[in-house]
A and B are shown apart, each in its own frame.
Chain A
Amino acid sequence: MVALLPDESMSQEALPLTDLANVIRSKNAGPLCFTVDLFFSNAQAYARAAQSEALQINSVAACYGLMATQVRRFELPHIFAIKLSMPRTVCAGNPGDGDLYGAQQHAPLLSLRL
């Protein structure tokens, strides 16, 4: 279930995140948390992403089926990056874990339009 929330304040048409970012990665930050790093191609793409509704904490939480209080967002404008950290659904390596390294948890973001 992916939230499509184009930013109405932008005059331009919403663009796919995959066109704006050159890295969209996820990885464990310890066995209880995973973190998503989005690196954008240039200042313009970063600015659009930083302001976009789709990457606000509420939207990201909805996208991952989490509460807004479970998502932390960091903006790193000097390297055109946004970081999103959130809890894993199960502890890494527990029976039933489907992604030990948390390296494929970026997938729900791939269809976002900003």
Chain B
Amino acid sequence: MTHPTTPTAVSRLLDSHRMGQERLRVLSASGQLGFGIVQESFERGLERKPHFIGCDMGSIDPGPFYLGSGQMAAPRDMVRRDLEMVLKAARQLNVPLIIGSAGTAGAKPHLEDTLSLLKEVAEANGLSFSVAIVLSDVPRNLLVQAIQHGHLKSLDESGASLNLPLPNEEQVMSASHIVAQCGTHTFMKALSQKPDVLIAGRSCDTAIFAALPQMLGYDAGLSLHMAKIIECTSLCCTPGGRDAILAELGEFDFFLESMNPAAHATPASVAAHALYEQSNPWIVEEPEGTLHLKQASYLALDSHRTQVSGAQFVPRSSPTLKVEGASHAGARAVLLAGVADPTMISIMPSALLEVSERVRKLVPGEWTMVPHLYGQGAVRQLAQAKRSLHEIGLVIEFLAPHAAMAKTAAAVFKQNLLHFGFAGRLTTGGNLAFAFTPSEIDANECYQFVLYHLLEGVSPEDVFGIELHQWNFDEAPA
């Protein structure tokens, strides 16, 4: 049974809230949905009767594997738990629930996985509601055309970024998944369908929290600045944490208050948060324009809360989109070992070369080997004088077109390195120390980013799909 005449959570909010009469209370429940929402803090937030609840669920930070494979980074059971917590609360209060970057990377399989878990939760709790979804996968042909027209560009031309070459047509067509970050306007369009719940694929973190405020008439600069801070929940506090945070947005400023009484939003801690994971602390690029933070001011309301104002939003004439894409690069196996013999450590680079040549003759195929020598500059280059000669850790990656070849190369390499003979060798029992067996391990399929670029001259309407679904699970199982 559908309920076409029942007002939805979004329509209720849009019809009832009047800017200037009371502040808009925005509860950010999670910056990484699926890694465990802190229940006590979230419940304290609910006691404050938020006007809507938002959660960020994704990021590019965990690397290309998740975008490429279509898998979620968060464990499914924990995703289900967190979804249940926020869905039940939002339905109970009858307020909108907005989740962005579904399933880590926000491509179609991530969105589908998230929706299927949400559906399980809805069914188990006998909940009925409407859910709007945003699909963020970029049509391949559109991207190929954009490249041909010179509309795909480097994201950062300041020199402070590594250059990722523009992909060619074949790379675009063969990429595993390609998504674009949808912005506030796309969220507003989806919310204009008046759902109870919005689940979006890859999204700008800000859109989750800035769209409803802008639909209610709040200033774009203030809304986006608020959104930028609270999408990380209480990370902007001291001590920083993962507890829910409440923002109270007004016409001229917003207040920040962690729902953990021990985490304080201070002017210094909030201002410092603007630096976090941002190459430029004064500028945030959005699809619709640029958010300028240099004039932002932060004032203590008391020892626990901070008042923020002053951010400016400058719209751009036509929207730009951040595009992310990952491609399959083969299967990976890793070999793990330690070395404590100083002579073996000192000749390791030449030993690896020689053993590679031998193994290449034994294991045919297009496999590659990449060594990580821990203690000798695996994390970043180390000066010779600082390299360890007493003990090093050896992690060797093997990449091959398929997992069996990667594993074979790793196993044969292990045995050849273990018994590698060299001038002055004392350690004739073996050159390597293994902590466990087998010491060569399947390490999943390997993906690489092929796209992290700026797409211009394309209408977001041509990229992002919006759907509205009605879910009815009123008949709760006994």
**How far, in angstroms, from A19 to B208 measured CA to CA in the complex?**
40
B397 within 8 A of A: yes
Contact B271–A78 (Cβ < 8 Å): yes
**How far, in angstroms, from A2 to B275 measured CA to CA in the complex?**
25
B383 within 8 A of A: yes
Contacting residues, chain A, for B159 (C-beta < 8 A): 67, 69-70, 72, 87
* Total inter-chain residue pairs, C-beta < 8 Å: 124
Q: How would residues 404 to 443 of chain B score, 1 for a CB under 8 Å from any chain A CB and 0 otherwise?
A: 0000000000000000000000000000000000000000
Contact A95–B60 (Cβ < 8 Å): no
Q: Quick one: closest B residue to A26, CB to CB?
A: B380
Contacting residues, chain A, for B162 (C-beta < 8 A): 32-33, 87-91
Which of B275, B277, B397, B449 meets A76, CB within 8 Å?
Answer: B275
Contacting residues, chain B, for A37 (C-beta < 8 A): 272, 275-276
Which one of A8-16, A46-54, A100-108 contacts B? A100-108
A18 within 8 A of B: no
A4 shortest CB reach to chain B, Å: 13
**How far, in angstroms, from A71 to B159 measured CA to CA in the complex?**
7
B377-395 residues with Cβ-Cβ distance < 8 A to A are 378-381, 383
Which of A2, A33, A67, A96 meets B156, CB within 8 Å?
Answer: A33
Which one of B278-286, B307-315, B351-359 contacts A? B278-286
Contacting residues, chain B, for A88 (C-beta < 8 A): 161-162
**How far, in angstroms, from A85 to B160 measured CA to CA in the complex?**
6
A34-56 residues with Cβ-Cβ distance < 8 A to B are 35, 37, 39
Contacting residues, chain B, for A95 (C-beta < 8 A): 329, 332, 368, 370, 397, 399, 446, 448
B464 within 8 A of A: no
A20 within 8 A of B: no
B451 shortest CB reach to chain A, Å: 10
Contacting residues, chain A, for B368 (C-beta < 8 A): 95
Which one of B26-34, B50-58, B61-69, B191-199 contacts A? B61-69
Contact B278–A35 (Cβ < 8 Å): yes
Q: Quick one: closest B residue to A37, CB to CB?
A: B275
Contacting residues, chain A, for B277 (C-beta < 8 A): 27-29, 35
**How far, in angstroms, from A2 to B160 measured CA to CA in the complex?**
20
Contact B279–A72 (Cβ < 8 Å): yes
A114 within 8 A of B: no
Which range holds the interface residue count of chain B? 35 or more
Q: Quick one: closest B residue to A100, CB to CB?
A: B63
Which of B62, B156, B268, B447 meets A32, CB within 8 Å?
Answer: B156
Contact A87–B275 (Cβ < 8 Å): no
Contacting residues, chain B, for A94 (C-beta < 8 A): 64, 448-449
- Using known A-B contacts A33-B160, A70-B160, A98-B380, determine if residue A92 contacts B272 with beta carbons closer than 8 Å: no
Contact A86–B329 (Cβ < 8 Å): no
**How far, in angstroms, from A32 to B279 measured CA to CA in the complex?**
10
B363 within 8 A of A: no
Contact A29–B279 (Cβ < 8 Å): yes
Interface residues of chain A: helix, strand, loop or mixed (majority): loop
Contacting residues, chain A, for B383 (C-beta < 8 A): 1-2
A81 within 8 A of B: yes
Contacting residues, chain A, for B282 (C-beta < 8 A): 74
Contacting residues, chain B, for A33 (C-beta < 8 A): 156, 160-162, 279
Which of A27, A32, A76, A98 meets B276, CB within 8 Å?
Answer: A27
B124 within 8 A of A: no
Contacting residues, chain A, for B62 (C-beta < 8 A): 100
B432-474 residues with Cβ-Cβ distance < 8 A to A are 446-449, 452
Contact B449–A31 (Cβ < 8 Å): yes
B155 within 8 A of A: yes
Contacting residues, chain A, for B156 (C-beta < 8 A): 30, 32-33
Which of B160, B380, B447 meets A108, CB within 8 Å?
Answer: B380
Contacting residues, chain B, for A83 (C-beta < 8 A): 275, 281
**How far, in angstroms, from A75 to B281 measured CA to CA in the complex?**
10
Q: How would residues 328 to 351 of chain B score, 1 for a CB under 8 Å from any chain A CB and 0 otherwise?
A: 010010000000000000000000
A75 shortest CB reach to chain B, Å: 10
B372 within 8 A of A: yes
**How far, in angstroms, from A74 to B158 measured CA to CA in the complex?**
13
**How far, in angstroms, from A94 to B281 measured CA to CA in the complex?**
27
Q: Quick one: closest A residue to B452, CB to CB?
A: A31
B164 within 8 A of A: yes
A residues whose Cβ falls under 8 Å from a Cβ of B: 1-2, 27-33, 35, 37, 39, 65, 67, 69-72, 74, 76, 78-79, 81, 83, 85-96, 98-101, 104-105, 107-108
Q: Which 4 A-B pairs have the closest CB atoms?
A: A93-B63, A29-B279, A85-B279, A32-B161
Besides A74-B281, A96-B372, A101-B61, 9 more A-B contacts (Cβ < 8 Å) are: A27-B277, A28-B277, A31-B64, A35-B275, A72-B160, A76-B281, A85-B279, A85-B280, A93-B64
12 interchain pairs, CB-CB under 8 A: A28-B277, A30-B156, A33-B161, A35-B277, A65-B381, A72-B279, A79-B272, A93-B447, A93-B448, A95-B399, A96-B372, A96-B397
